[in-house]
Structure 1
Amino acid sequence: MNHLTPAIVAQSAVRRLPRLALLLLCVAYVLLGFWGRAPWKAQDIEAFGYMLQLAQPGMSEAISWLKPTLLDNPDSNLALLPYWLGALSIQWAPKGLEDVFARLPFIAMLSATLAATWYAVYSLTRHPAAQPVAFAFGGEAKPADYARAMADGGLLALLACLGLARLSHETTPALSQLCFAALLFFGLSTWARHRIQSAVAVSVGMLGLTLSGAPTLALWLGIGGTVICATAQPDPAQRRLSMLDVGLLALICLLCVTTAGALDLWRWRVVPHSMFDLHLLGKLIVWFTWPAWPLALWALWRWRGQLSHVWRYPHLGLPLWFALVTIGATWFTGLSDRALLSSLPAIATLAALALPTLKRSLGALIDWFTLLFFSFCALAMWVVWVAMQTGIPAKPARNVARLAPEFVPEFSIGAFVLAVSATLAWAALVRWRTGYHRAAIWKSMVLPAGGAVLCWLLLTTLWLPLLNYARSYAALVQKITRITDQNACFQYAGISKAQGAALLHHGQARLMPMQAPQPDCQWLIIDRANLSLLSAKIRALGWVEHAAIKRPTDNDETLVMFRPANPLNLPPTRSEEPVR
C-alpha cells in the first residue's frame, strides 16, 4: 500500500489534542445558538409552529401526528420525526419555556452529529490503505494514534465549516437529516470492524432520514455505501460475509420503502435547472463548505493513486459517495443550502485526509489567512457592540439604528463575560499556534475551527438581542398585542405559516380561518401582500381595516388588522388609533 499512500507521518506528529479543550469547544459551539434565542424566521419558527400544534391537548389523535398541520396546511417537507421529538419535549415544558424544551432533541442531534463524524473518521483512517508510509527503521505513526489525530482534524474541519453554524442550530428537519446522515456515515464506516453496532447505526440512520423527509436520499446513501463497504474487503471470506450484510441492508431498505409508502412520504421534488445555473451551485458550495472544500480537493489530488479503484478504499470512496449524492440532491431540489448541510461530515472527512499531506508553506498560508479573517470579524463584532451600547463610533451606531429601527440595546453581564472569555481564549490559541511547539497533523485546523466557534459565540452573546429583534417576529407580535392583548383570537387569511406560528408562540393567540365576525373572535389579520386578492371578500364579510403593523426590520412585511364593521359587543382595545 505504501506506493499508493501519500501520507508520511511520524509518531511525534500524532500527539493527542487535549480532550478537555476539544470538549469545551464542542460544548460552546452546540449550546450557544440554542440557548436564549427566539425562533427566527422563517423555517425555524415555522417548524416550531408544527411542534406547538402537535403538542396541543386536543391533538392526540393518530391522524394529527401522522399529518402535522399549521394554519390547516400540511407540512411540505414531509418530515415527521423532528416534529414528533419537538412536540413530545414541549409537552414536558413548563408554561413559557416551550421553545427552550423544543430545542432539547435538536441539541442532542447536533451533539450526535459531531460524535458520529469523529468516530467515522477514526474508523476510516484505521483502514490499511489510509495509514501512513512505513519507515525503513520504524518511527512511523501508530495506527490508533494516527486515526485519533485524523479524527480530531476531521471534527475541527466540520466545526470550521461556515454553513454549519446557523442551520445546525435551528429546530428544522435539516438538522434532523444532518444527524441521521452522519449516523449512517458512521455505521457504514465501521461496517468491517463492528457488525452489530454498524447495523444498528445504519438502521437508525436510514429510518431517521426517511422520517425526516429524505427517503430517497436514505436509499441512495445506504445502498451505494454498502456496495463500497462490501467490495472493499480484501479477503474473499470476508467478502462472502459482506454479501450477508448486503442482505441485511436489503431488509433495512425494504423497511424504509414500506415506511415511506405507508406514511405517504414519497414526493416528486426534482427542480429542473439549466447548465447556466451551475455557477450558482458552485458559489453555494464555495461559501457553505469553506474552509473544508479546498482541503477536500487537495486530498483527492494527493490520494489520486487510489481514485482509479476508489471502491476498494472506503476512506475515500465512502465520503466521496456521500458528498456526491448530497451535492446532487442539492442540485435537483432547488439549490437549497439545507440539502447541502448533510454533505458536511463527508467533506470534513476528505479535508482530514489532506492534513498529513500538507506542505509547511500551505499550512502557514491557512493559518495566516484564518488568523486575519476571524480576528477582523471578531474585532468588527466588538466595535459594533460598543457602538450599540455607547453610540461611539457613530457610523456603526447609525447603521444599526437604520437597519433595526426602535431597537433598544441591552447589556447582559453573563453574555459579556462569555464574550470576553472567548476572545481571550482566541488570543491564547493564536499565541500557542504562532509559538514554537511540536508539530501535529491537526494543527492546521485549530485556527479555522477556533475562529468559527469564536465568531458564532460572539454572535450569540453580544449580538443576540439585535439578532432576535431583526430575525424573529417577537417585535411584530408585541406591537399587535399592544392593541389586542395576549390570548386574543384571530381569524386569518393570506398569512404565512411562519407568521401564524409567531402569533401562536409570541402572542398566545387562537387562530381560525377567515369567515364572518364571531362574538368570540372579532379580529381578522392578513398579510398586506395578499390584501388586494382578498379585499372584496373582506368587505362582503363585514370587516373594516383597523391598523397596519409593519415588521420593524422589513418594510415589505406588514400585517393588516381588521375589526367588524358592525360591532358585536366589542371588547375595548388598548389603542383606538391606527398603528402604522
Structure 2
Amino acid sequence: MSSPFSHGQTRRPAARPALQPGAVGKLPRPLLLLLCAAYILPGFLGRDPWRTDGLSFAVMWQMAQSATSWWHPVLYGHAISGGWLAHWLGAGSIQLLGGWLGPILASRVPFMLALAASMSLTWYAAFHFARVDDAQPVRPAFGPAIAPNDYARAIADGVLLTLLATLGLLGRGHEASTQVVQLAALSAVLLGVSLVPRRRWKAAGWIAAGLLGLALTAAGWFALLLALVLVAVLGKRLLTLQNGSVAIALGTGIIAGLWAESRLGWSLHGTWPGLTTLGNFFRIGLWFTWPAWPLAAWALWRWRESLLAWHLRTAWAVALLALLSALALGNNDKVFLLALPPLAILSGFALPVMRRAGLAAIDWFAVLFYSLLALVVWVMWLAMFVGWPPKPAANIARLAPGFQFSLDPLALIISLAATVAWGAVVLWRTGRHRHPLWKGMVLSASGVTLAWVLVGSLWMPVLNYASTYRLVGRELAHAVSSASALSMQPAKPCLRPVGLDLTSQALIGYWSGLDFSRSKNAVCPYALGTRAPLADSEWRLIWQGGRPGDRGATFYLYQRLAP
C-alpha cells in the first residue's frame, strides 16, 4: 500500500504513523517528576499499617528485631511463605532508617523506590521499543524528518502517563507488600527485552534481575512462565552466539522459578474458569486496567499487520500471560497488577494512530469524572471541618465515631495547589494550540493524581482513624497491664487468639507490645478473640472494643480465672 508520505514505491504497515515534527513535543522533565512524586507519596505517607499491608509490616518488624528467621520467617507460630525479597528490603530498611524515620515509614521506603523504579523502567522500555525502525513514523516527503529519539521520548512519555492513569495501580501500587516489588521486577524484564537488539549484556542483566526478583517474591511460577514466553518471543535470536548472554539470563530465570516453587510447594493452583469467573474477570479487568485496555486494544487493531514486530510482540505476549494467570487464579488482582506495564506500552503505540474522536472521549471522561470526584472530596472535607452539608457530616460521624477533626494547614495548601494545577491542565488541554502525542493521557494521569493527592491529604486522617489498629492495641495493652497488676501476673503475658486471623494478631501485637501464643497448647492468662474462648466458669471478660470504622468486629479480652 503506497502513501503520499513514503519514498518511492516502498510499502509500510497500515498503522505506521505519518507525523509532523510538532507532534513530538517534549514533556518538561521537572513537571513529569513532580507528577510522579505527587502520585507516589500520598499513599505511603501519613497512615498506619492497615489490613492490606499489615501482615507484611509485622513480618518485617519481627525480622528487623531478630525475632524470627530471615529465610524461614514465622509469626506467632505461623510460617510465612514466600515474599523473601520484599521482607528483606523492609526489614533492612527498618534496621537502617528506623531510628530516624520510625519503623513504619522506614519499612515503606524500599516500596516507594520500587514503585518509582517501575515507572522509570517502563519509560525506558517503551523508549527502546519505540526506537526500532518498524515503530518509527514514515519520513515525510516534504519538511524535516522527526528525530528517532524525539519520537521515542514522546511515546515513552505517553506510556508513563498511561501507567499513572490506570485505576488498578492506585491501591495495590501503594502498599508495602510483595506485589510492588513484583511490578518493578516485571518492568525490569521488559526493559531487558527492549535492549536485546542493541545492548545484549545490559539486556541479559535486566532480564536476569527481573526474573530473580519475581522468583524471590513468591511468584516463581510466574517467573518460570514468563521465561518460557520470552523464549518463544525471542525465537531464533537466542540461537545466535551474540545473544548467548540473554539465553543464559532466561535459563537463570527458569532455574530460579523452579527453585522458588520447590521451596513453596508449587503455589500455582489454577482452576478452569466458569461463567461466573469469566464474568468477574471482565468486570474487574475493565476498571482495573482503565484506560490502558481500550488504547491497547486499538493499538493491536491498527498495528494488526505488524503484531509480530519487535516493538509489539513482547508487550502483548506478557500482558496476555498476566491476564490469563489472573483468570486462572480466580481473578487475583495482585496478578492483574502485572498486566499494567505491558498494557501501558501497547497503549503508547496507539497514541500516534489514535483518532481525534477517541482521544476526545477519553479526555471528556477524565474531565467530568475526576472533577466530580475532586468536588466530592472537598465537600466531604468541608463537612468534617464545619459540619455542613449536614448529611455528609452525619455519614462521617456514623462511619468514624469519635473522630476529632483538626485543621492541617500544610495538607490544605497542598490540596489547594493540586486543585489549581488541575484547572491549569484542563485549560491547557482544551486550548487550540498544537498538542504532542502524549496529550491524550495528560488529563487522565493528572486526574488520578489529583484525586489521590486530595484523598491522601484531606481524607487521610479520618481514613486512618477508621482503619488503624493503634487505638485497639493501646486500649488492650492498658487493660492487660491493669489486670496483671491486680493479679500479680507477668508484665508482658501472652495472649491466646480465639478466632482471630493472623493479620489482626500482627497489627494488635505491634501496637500493644503483647505476644500471642505460638502453640495451641500454650497456657496463657489472657485470651483475645471475637467470641468467648472457653466456658464462662474459667474465664471472665475484662475488656471489649474494636476499630471505629469496623463496627461489625468486636474484640473480647478474657482473663483466666485462678484454679
- The TM-score, its normalising length taken from structure 2, stands at 0.91
| CA distance in 2: counterparts of 1:517 and 1:247, whole angstroms | 53
The Cα offsets for residues 92-136 of structure 1, whole Å up to 9 and x where unpaired, read as: 312881111100111111111000000010011111111112222
Deviation at 1:296, TM superposition (A): 0.9
| CA distance in 1: counterparts of 2:31 and 2:101, whole angstroms | 34
- Specify the SS of the correspondent of 2:552: strand
Contact kept, 8 Å, 1:517 with 1:564, in 2: the verdict is: no
Contact kept, 8 Å, 1:132 with 1:140, in 2: the verdict is: no
Match of 2:130 in 1: 125
- Specify the SS of the correspondent of 2:343: helix
Deviation at 1:21, TM superposition (A): 0.3
Match of 2:17 in 1: 7
* Percent identical residues: 36
| CA distance in 2: counterparts of 1:267 and 1:362, whole angstroms | 41
- Unaligned 5+ segments in structure 2 are 1-10, 483-490
Contact kept, 8 Å, 2:128 with 2:195, in 1: the verdict is: yes
Gap change, CA 1:483 and 1:328, over 3 Å in 2: same
Contact kept, 8 Å, 2:277 with 2:330, in 1: the verdict is: no
Contact kept, 8 Å, 1:525 with 1:559, in 2: the verdict is: yes
Runs of 4+ with deviation above 6 angstroms: 514-518
Match of 1:524 in 2: 527
Match of 2:244 in 1: 244
- Does structure 1 residue 411 correspond to structure 2 residue 410? no
Deviation at 1:545, TM superposition (A): 2.3
| CA distance in 2: counterparts of 1:354 and 1:403, whole angstroms | 43
Deviation at 1:498, TM superposition (A): 1.3
CA RMSD of aligned residues (A): 2.3
Write the mapping of 1:538-577 to structure 2, written as runs, cut at 5 A: 542-566=538-562
Q: Which residue identity is paired with 1:196?
A: W
Deviates more, 1:465-474 or 1:134-143: 134-143
- Unaligned 5+ segments in structure 1 are 568-580
Match of 1:134 among 133, 136, 139: 139
- Does structure 1 residue 56 correspond to structure 2 residue 83? no
Match of 1:393 in 2: 389
Contact kept, 8 Å, 2:271 with 2:329, in 1: the verdict is: yes
Deviates more, 1:220-229 or 1:112-121: 220-229
Contact kept, 8 Å, 2:472 with 2:508, in 1: the verdict is: no
Deviates more, 1:257-266 or 1:141-150: 257-266
Deviation at 1:239, TM superposition (A): 6.4
Q: Which residue identity is paired with 1:562?
A: Y
- Specify the SS of the correspondent of 2:350: helix
Deviates more, 1:392-401 or 1:556-565: 556-565
The Cα offsets for residues 522-545 of structure 1, whole Å up to 9 and x where unpaired, read as: 3321233xx4xx535x86xx3322
- Specify the SS of the correspondent of 1:290: coil
The Cα offsets for residues 381-430 of structure 1, whole Å up to 9 and x where unpaired, read as: 00100101110111110111112222222221111111111111111111
The Cα offsets for residues 459-502 of structure 1, whole Å up to 9 and x where unpaired, read as: 11100011112222223324323423598544122311111111
Deviation at 1:262, TM superposition (A): 6.5
The Cα offsets for residues 202-226 of structure 1, whole Å up to 9 and x where unpaired, read as: 1110011001011111122223224
Match of 1:173 in 2: 178
Q: Which residue identity is paired with 2:107?
A: A
Match of 1:33 among 23, 43, 61: 43
| CA distance in 2: counterparts of 1:172 and 1:278, whole angstroms | 27
Write the mapping of 1:177-216 to structure 2, written as runs, cut at 5 A: 177-216=182-221
- Does structure 1 residue 274 correspond to structure 2 residue 283? no
| CA distance in 2: counterparts of 1:220 and 1:9, whole angstroms | 38
Contact kept, 8 Å, 1:5 with 1:131, in 2: the verdict is: no
| CA distance in 2: counterparts of 1:434 and 1:410, whole angstroms | 38
| CA distance in 1: counterparts of 2:252 and 2:86, whole angstroms | 21
Match of 1:361 in 2: 357
Match of 1:87 in 2: 91
Count of matched residue pairs: 543
The Cα offsets for residues 57-111 of structure 1, whole Å up to 9 and x where unpaired, read as: 343xxxx2112122211125x2111011111112231288111110011111111
Match of 1:574 in 2: none
Contact kept, 8 Å, 2:525 with 2:559, in 1: the verdict is: yes
The Cα offsets for residues 429-456 of structure 1, whole Å up to 9 and x where unpaired, read as: 1111112322201000000000001101
Match of 2:118 among 113, 122, 131: 113
Contact kept, 8 Å, 2:205 with 2:249, in 1: the verdict is: no
